[in-house]
């Protein structure tokens, strides 16, 4: 039977400044709107892999909301769980890169349709049709989503399903009231944990990566994947560690790499792929994603990932 993956979280549009610099203090050229929101990017990548999947989220009845719904549906995502909030607006993110690669955001999520997601009988039915839940830390800053996620974890796990968790945090989010408790809950329930870099130390007092991994694997997590940007990634489980070297690509826009990486990894892992195979495709999905401007534009089909992997083997 085909397993269905669910995520719950923010669906946004993103506008990207076309010049580098420090923020938005003066008029400047932007490009967008691009479909965005970390959970939306993740689930779009899952859909492009051909895996059954759905998202629970909320958008306004505006072009930005419909742009997202159309893209997700076209890419194979079940969009029936996306509520259209009449009289509200779809969330927006404006991003500008500084010359050192750091980014500055203007972010309207807390004031947007994405800031609420009340449970309904339709959302509960959708949860009950899914076998796996993927949660991201950004979404857990929204109290409605945190509550819905807890209920979804319980329902899906009670039926023998599984949970993956990507903290996906920005430093300024960590002070959100109640967020640390929600993150700790997800970690305690997670089967697969996908931190980026130092996020592995968020939930452990260990001082080395291996000690943090040993600590977390001792708590019921079966698989940990550490994402390292242009340095590649590593997979850990009881049987040891596997590393993957980064593919050589031209980085146009790094936003969304971790989400695409996660979508590819979770889709393959859930189907029982060997960790090194899931890691190889996820590494390719992250690399493919950075070659396109716009956070969701680089989500790739399995065929595109095969082509990217084959081209690098020829060149190496
Ligand atoms: P974000 O939250 O911004 O989407 P992230 O921090 O969660 O990103 P990254 O570690 O930046 O995730 O990227 C995920 C994976 O994508 C990396 O582990 C790597 O496999 C691949 N990747 C990212 N950037 C590059 C790059 N410049 N070149 C090759 N591969 C990359
Ligand atoms: Mg991330």
DSSP 246: P
242, β-bridge pairs:
235
Q: Are the beta carbons of 46 and 21 closer than 8 angstroms?
A: no
Domains and CATH numbers, the chain: 5-315 (3.40.1190.20)
Using DSSP's 3-state secondary structure scheme, residue 237 falls into strand
**Residue 262 Cα: closest atom of ligand 1:** 14
Q: What is the pLDDT along the chain (316 residues), one digit of tens a residue?
A: 699 999 999 999 999 999 999 999 999 999 999 999 999 999 999 999 999 999 999 999 999 999 999 999 999 999 999 999 999 999 999 999 999 988 899 999 999 999 999 999 999 999 999 999 999 999 999 999 999 999 999 999 999 999 999 999 977 788 888 999 999 999 999 999 999 989 999 999 999 999 999 999 989 899 999 999 999 999 999 999 999 999 999 999 999 999 999 999 999 999 999 999 999 999 999 999 999 999 999 999 999 999 999 998 766 5
Task: Tell the residue nearest (CA) to atom 23 of ligand 1.
Answer: 229
ipTM for the predicted complex comes to 0.97
User: Is the distance from the beta carbon of residue 138 to the nearest atom of ligand 1 less than 6 Å?
Assistant: no
Residue (of 74, 51, 45) closest to 304 by Cα position: 45
Task: Tell the residue nearest (CA) to atom 3 of ligand 1.
Answer: 255
105, β-bridge pairs:
95
């Amino acid at each position: 039977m085909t397993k269905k993956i669910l995520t719950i979280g923010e669906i946004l549009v993103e506008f990207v400044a076309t010049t580098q610099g420090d923020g938005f203090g003066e008029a400047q050229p932007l490009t967008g709107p691009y479909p965005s929101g970390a959970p939306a990017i993740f689930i779009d990548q899952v859909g492009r892999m051909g895996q059954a999947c759905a998202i629970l989220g909320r958008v306004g009845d505006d072009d930005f909301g419909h742009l997202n719904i159309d893209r997700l549906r076209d890419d194979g995502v079940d969009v029936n769980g996306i509520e259209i909030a009449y009289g509200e607006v779809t969330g927006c993110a404006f991003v500008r890169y500084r010359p050192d690669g750091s980014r500055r955001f203007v972010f309207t999520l807390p004031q947007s349709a994405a800031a609420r997601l009340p449970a309904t009988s339709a959302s509960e039915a959708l949860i009950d049709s899914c076998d796996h839940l993927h949660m991201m830390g950004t979404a857990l800053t929204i109290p409605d989503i945190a509550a819905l996620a807890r209920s979804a974890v319980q329902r899906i796990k009670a039926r023998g399903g599984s949970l993956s968790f990507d903290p996906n945090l920005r430093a300024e989010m960590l002070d959100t009231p109640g967020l640390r408790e929600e993150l700790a809950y997800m970690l305690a329930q997670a089967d697969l944990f996908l931190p980026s870099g130092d996020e592995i130390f968020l939930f452990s007092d260990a001082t080395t990566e291996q000690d943090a991994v040993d600590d977390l694997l001792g708590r019921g997590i079966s698989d940990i994947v550490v994402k390292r940007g242009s340095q590649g990634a590593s997979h850990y489980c009881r049987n040891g560690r596997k590393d993957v070297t980064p593919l050589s690509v031209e980085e146009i826009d790094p936003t969304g790499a971790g989400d695409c990486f996660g979508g590819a990894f979770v889709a393959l892992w859930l189907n029982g792929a060997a960790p090194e195979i899931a890691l190889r495709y996820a590494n390719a999905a992250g690399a493919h994603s950075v070659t396109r401007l716009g956070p969701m534009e680089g989500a790739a089909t399995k065929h595109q990932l095969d082509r990217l992997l084959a081209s690098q083997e020829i060149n190496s």
